[in-house]
Homo-oligomer: A and B are copies of this chain.
Amino acid sequence: MNRKRVSAHQPVLLATVAAKAGVSIATVSRIVNGETGRASAETIERVQKIVGALGYRPNHVGRALRRRESRIVAMLSPNLDNPAMAAIAASVETALRSAGYVMILCDTHDRAELQDEYLHAMRSQAVQGYVLVNAVQSEALSASVARGDPIVFVGRRNPAGAGSFVGIDNRRAGADAADHLWAQGIRDLAVIHPTQGSSASRDRVDGFVRRLKELGLPCEAIRQASALGLSHLEVGYAAAQRLIDGKSWPGGLLCPSDMMAYGAYRLALEKGIRIPETCRIVGIDDNALNAWIAPWLISVRIPYADFGAKVVGQLQALWAGEQPSEQLLPHELIVR
């Protein structure tokens, strides 16, 4: 019968306030939006009092429709289960909030078709910007880029061309790892990586190998192995297995992500190899948990906590009509 009664506080609208204040909704709207000089001081005061008393809050849907700005930003991230991705998400979310935006989070599971589905869905949500973490090449992405949508790429550059970017200098990160191991006097070095690595992975490995060559280590002296796999954990385990197939463990091992390092570590445990005494493992990311439960891991710390502010800065630049730009943040090798 009167099922509406059950929980139907009807929302307070501009009209509600306007009626109570004896002014038009236009006036209330202007006052709510801080437009001064369009109403007398007394009117403003009175309306504001009523707004407060009634707890009026503008309906964002109506506003978005009229102003054509939703104040929503979409963040597409592969597997949130990866702590590095979670850290980026947290950082971006916080930065967006302080800039007055809210974040829709989409987990693409690193799959192009899901990324496309989300890009379409977000477009019909009328989001104002996109943050693409480790994006993959896909049709809707190309279309979005071509349309000139405001996109910031994080971690991995636009797989199809230019675009705003926030990340680190991956090549230098690899080189820093090389320098460290070299300085420790370790010469039997190895590196593992995903078989179809992203540009980020490739650059890290590349920087590592190049630097070692500069230091005088012949290319063929650096053992390499790769593996396919769903997660970097499994890739690390499987690639390490291939690496040591019949052979001894290297004295130093670069893993292009902490997750891969964990995978390699598990194999080492199973084989009775002592880490870090027998083999120094270097990861990249420096997961916050390392300090607590993986002090054996040397890792390149990426300042994920600072990503959010940079990302929002890039978005605002795009909104202001500026050209896309790249922002490289400093990294730091952490040894415990």
Contact = CB atoms under 8 A, between A and B. Distances in A.
Interface stretch (A84-92, A172-180, A217-225): A84-92
Please report whether the interface of chain A is mostly helix, strand, loop or mixed according to DSSP: helix
Contacts of A121: 102
A65 B61 contact: yes
A36 interface: no
A57 B124 contact: yes
Contact of A120 (B57, B90, B262, B291): B57
A56 B98 CA distance: 34
Interface string A280-306: 000000001101111100000000000
A288 B81 contact: yes
Contacts of A124: 57-60
Interface stretch (A21-29, A103-111, A203-211): A103-111
Number of copies: 2
Interface residues of A, number: 54
Contacts of A72: 104, 125
Given A124-B57, A124-B59, A265-B292, A81 B70 contact: no
B80 A86 contact: yes
Given A65-B65, A87-B81, A123 B57 contact: yes
Q: Which 9 A-B pairs have the closest CB atoms?
A: A7-B148, A86-B86, A80-B90, A105-B105, A262-B292, A57-B124, A61-B64, A60-B125, A61-B65
Interface of A: 3, 6-7, 9, 57-62, 64-65, 70, 72, 79-81, 83, 86-87, 89-90, 93-94, 97, 102-107, 120-126, 147-148, 233, 262-263, 265-266, 269, 288-289, 291-295, 321
22 contacts: A6-B321, A7-B147, A58-B124, A60-B126, A61-B61, A61-B64, A61-B70, A61-B126, A72-B104, A80-B90, A81-B83, A86-B89, A102-B106, A103-B104, A103-B105, A104-B105, A262-B289, A263-B292, A265-B292, A269-B295, A289-B289, A293-B293
